[in-house]
Structure 1
Amino acid sequence: MKSIDSLNVSILCGGQSSEHAISILSAQNVVGVLLGLGCAVEVVWIDQSGQWWRLISANIFVDTGVQAKEQLVLTPGGTSPWRTATTPSMVDVVFPLVHGETGEDGALQGLLDLLSLPYVGANVISSAIGMHKEMAKRVWRAAALPTCDWVTLSPTTRANYSYDSLASQWGDRLFVKPACQGSSVGVSCVTDAESFERALDLAFQYSDCVLVEPAIDGVEIECSVRGYGDELVASVPGELDVHHDFYSYDAKYNDKQGATAIVPARLNQQQQTAVQQLALAACRTLLVEGMAR
């Protein structure tokens, strides 16, 4: 096995989803760490039309983002998974950091499997189920894990649900969200019929499957999980003190004061253990390995 400072690591970032810009920020952070560990790092940027490019310098990418680049061609079955017109890429492991659709939903993972490339993170089935909110909730509920109530709407069933009928069951505050987006893209918190319809219009721009859920008055707790097989390990939980109506895209990325991270979370030992056990159970139920949050 190679030592970490001798690995050829290929970072995949960008992509065609609404989270393209966030993917690049994630990649800049990871590339900076890997360069500090002595890894040979190649940055592969997927543009918003789906074309693949190798960036000339990983160091420049960390500081300034996407700059000089060479177009890549995939070469499955060859000695190299992809190459420019003149130079093949030598890849020991891929770190996929493409967010959202085609990056975290199993599509990219399936491609890497076809290219016989080892990669960081969840496999095809875990990625596909985990990225689809309704399917993940179905699996967790079948496993008797605590899961917020929901209804699922499609363009053809939308008319069957009204704000008033759902609010009468769950209360005035409801969340509307597309099934397969991350970073709170397309998510709305609504309190009346007019905002409910606007929220559905927005969510259906991103997916033909939209979830409506009751709002939960609680504390935003995060817990990461890493490892493989029977050796999954849960982190110390963190807490987010959100300064917006909810932890929206703007609160996450556009407002530097949108939320305050509190680590460790303000939990007693019993609560902390319960959070960690739930995080581990959620990952094991979806067959997640590598890393999750």
Structure 2
Amino acid sequence: MTNVNPLAPSAYGKVAVMFGGKSAEREVSLLSGNAVLKSLLSLGIDAHRFDPAEQAITELLKQQFSRVVIMLHGRGGEDGTMQGALQLLGIPYTGSGVLGSALCMDKIKSKQIWQTLGLPTAQYEIAVKSSFDAGSCEAIMARLGNEVMVKPAQEGSSIGMTKVNSAQQLATAIQDAFKYDEHVLIEQFIQGSEFTVSLLNGQALPSIRMSTPRVFYDYTAKYQADSTQYFCPSGLSAEQEQELGTLSIKAFSALSGSGWGRIDFMQDKGGNFYLLEANTVPGMTEKSLVPMAAKQAGMRFSDLSLAVLQTSMERG
């Protein structure tokens, strides 16, 4: 279990829980932020809602906030831009810094770094909107095994993602993904089980295995469907659990991630793990994956919310 060193509620000062924003993940951010805000208030912390879509961030100074809990998902909150703005304002904030946030948000940059360091990740290709040639799709499919995932480089919650198994489908999926990003990741599809590992202050929490009857673990499977199943404990052996935890810590550190986050994996039929992506501001609703893993480790949701808040103290 990850311990939380208790401080008096007043030690945190006036806390802004920042959520909402203008990204495609606004609705999920609202759920996460409200859950964390309610939790911090229950602990006696002077916490307040702050939606950057409704007021300028300079209001943080005018309203004399001491620190910010970032619960913004996606662009404008998870990609380093808000982190940089808060650093310029001199206000401590939770989670990863500018570099770590930017690298973890970019699926292509993440994979390039992992690949350079010899960490396991699926084969991939990159499509750039300004130079994409639909005529290359047949060759791409052949190189990647004729079954691929198409992902906008900098979207979360599976937004804009498509699984395809033909050159024609690939061309259409890439054009759809270009609506969200000028750079698109085309990734070899790994047939097997999907896992996620939550990280808190340099420690790996128990892994979770996800199962869905849908084509893949998409937005609907994550937030809307009742058919998605979650297994925590995940069913891995003690050795595999240790392997996955160690790999998660290495992968997060390689991208300069810090404080807290989550790493997603696929495991193929041979038992090999492949890194999918990193998240620096994962979902924090009562039913989200990080709280689920924390509960398995013996942490209440309020403990977890407090632990996230305390990552801001490192920048104090």
Asked if these proteins are the same fold (TM beyond 0.5), I'd say yes
1:244 aligns with 2:214: yes
Compute the displacement of 1:4 (Å).
4.6
Please say which of residues 102-111 and 218-227 is displaced more in the overlay: 218-227
1:110 aligns with 2:84: yes
Deviations along 1:165-208, one digit per CA (max 9) or x if unpaired, are 12222223211110000000100001223322221121000110
Secondary structure in 2 matching 1:127: helix
Counterpart residue identity of residue 159, structure 1? D
Compute the displacement of 1:82 (Å).
3.4
Partner residue, 1:25: 31
Structure 1: 5+ residue runs without aligned partners? 53-71, 76-80, 84-88
Partner residue, 1:180: 154
1:34 aligns with 2:4: no
Structure whose alpha-carbon radius of gyration is higher: 1
Partner residue, 2:121: 147
Alpha carbons 2:178, 2:184 under 8 Å: kept:
yes
Partner residue, 1:207: 181
Alpha carbons 2:124, 2:144 under 8 Å: kept:
no
Counterpart residue identity of residue 48, structure 2? E
CA RMSD of aligned residues (A): 1.8
Please say which of residues 171-180 and 120-129 is displaced more in the overlay: 171-180
Alpha carbons 2:125, 2:140 under 8 Å: kept:
no
Compute the displacement of 1:92 (Å).
2.3
Secondary structure in 1 matching 2:51: strand
Counterpart residue identity of residue 31, structure 2? L
Deviations along 1:79-132, one digit per CA (max 9) or x if unpaired, are xx333xxxxx23222101111111101000001101111111000000011101
Partner residue, 1:260: 229
How much identity, in percent, do the aligned residues show? 30
Q: How does 1:67-106 map to 2 (within 5 A)?
A: 74=58, 81-83=60-62, 89-106=63-80
Alpha carbons 2:86, 2:92 under 8 Å: kept:
yes
CA–CA distance in structure 2, aligned partners of residues 195 and 243 of structure 1? 21
Of 196, 206, 222, the residue aligned with 1:222 is: 196
Alpha carbons 1:4, 1:37 under 8 Å: kept:
no
Compute the displacement of 1:254 (Å).
2.2
CA–CA distance in structure 1, aligned partners of residues 255 and 27 of structure 2? 28
Does 1 or 2 have the higher relative contact order (CA < 8 Å, sep 6+)?
2
Counterpart residue identity of residue 25, structure 1? L
Secondary structure in 2 matching 1:112: helix
1:269 aligns with 2:238: yes
CA–CA distance in structure 2, aligned partners of residues 278 and 188 of structure 1? 27
CA–CA distance in structure 1, aligned partners of residues 6 and 249 of structure 2? 29
CA–CA distance in structure 1, aligned partners of residues 108 and 168 of structure 2? 25
Alpha carbons 1:225, 1:280 under 8 Å: kept:
yes
Counterpart residue identity of residue 185, structure 1? I
Deviations along 1:43-73, one digit per CA (max 9) or x if unpaired, are 00122xxx41xxxxxxxxxxxxxxxxxxx56
Aligned length: 256
CA 1:169/1:31 → structure 2, altered by over 3 Å: closer, same or farther?
same
Partner residue, 1:235: 205
